[in-house]
Amino acid sequence: MDIANMTIMLLIGVLGGFISGLIGIGGAIIIYPAILILPPLIGIPAYSAYIASGLTSSQVFFSTLSGSLNARKQPAFSPKLVIYMGGGMLIGSMLGAILASLFNATFVNTVYVIIAILALILMFIKVKPTTQETKSKPLLLIIVGFGIGVISGIVGAGGAFIIIPVLLALFKLPMNTVVNNSIAIAFISSVGAFFIKLMQGYIPVESAIFLIIGSIIFAPIGLKVGKKVPDSIQRGMLIILIVIAIIQFII
């Protein structure tokens, strides 16, 4: 593995890790297209959609693990919310990871764009946040989590870029609660996809190592910075990231 490849993977990991902690996502919405687009720009052979998906799942797994260890110490952290939605996503993501090998690269990319568009629409739905616990909605959390998990497993993402809009619009949770819990939910959901893609041979270890190092170091930094960022700015940043991802794939 040459220096250029090591450097680009490390930088992508740093970017994904920081964004992961800052907004409470796994970083896949940036990492997946970055792995496909950036290496060829500096003369590195392009990764296939399957390998990019596998590398993305490794980055999401370790960045959300690093972020979760810090998020669980926060007052807004809700173990029940994480277990219900995370459990549904874990099962769904494992199924999605298995199904991913049945589809071609075009289908995988199309799924990514469709989900990103749905997430974008949800971000513009304004609801009044409630502090009410989700005790009465455990089944709904599990079902919604399962559906998101299937899609995220196919793409190799943690699914947090859709978790956040869903928790904001459907469950009416405040932004600080969503950010603190979504990264932990994304971690649980990433477990199945990561290990299945690893066994399928879609994760080149040499490339993944540098991607992971950058993610682990910068996810906690992003989380600390995120505490000082207003909710409106965090929401705006997520909208911008979703739009960028959609444009990249449409082009």
Domain count, the chain: 1
CA 186, CA 4: separation in Å to the nearest integer?
30
**Which positions ≥6 away from 158 have C-beta within 8 Å?**
25, 26, 27, 28, 60, 61, 64, 152, 186, 187, 189, 190
DSSP 54-69: HHHHHHHHHHHHHHHH
Q: What is the pLDDT of residue 142?
A: 92
Q: What is the pLDDT of residue 1?
A: 65
Angle at 143 between CA 159 and CA 51, to 5 degrees: 30
Residue written as tokens 């600390």?
224
Domain residues for 192?
3-250
Does the model's pTM come out above 0.85?
Answer: no
Q: What is the pLDDT of residue 11?
A: 92
Q: What is the pLDDT of residue 251?
A: 66
Regions of the chain short of the pLDDT cut 70: 1, 26, 130-136, 155-160, 245, 248-249, 251
Q: What is the pLDDT of residue 209?
A: 92
Which phi-psi region, left, alpha or beta, contains residue 27 (left: φ > 0; alpha: ψ -120 to 50)?
left
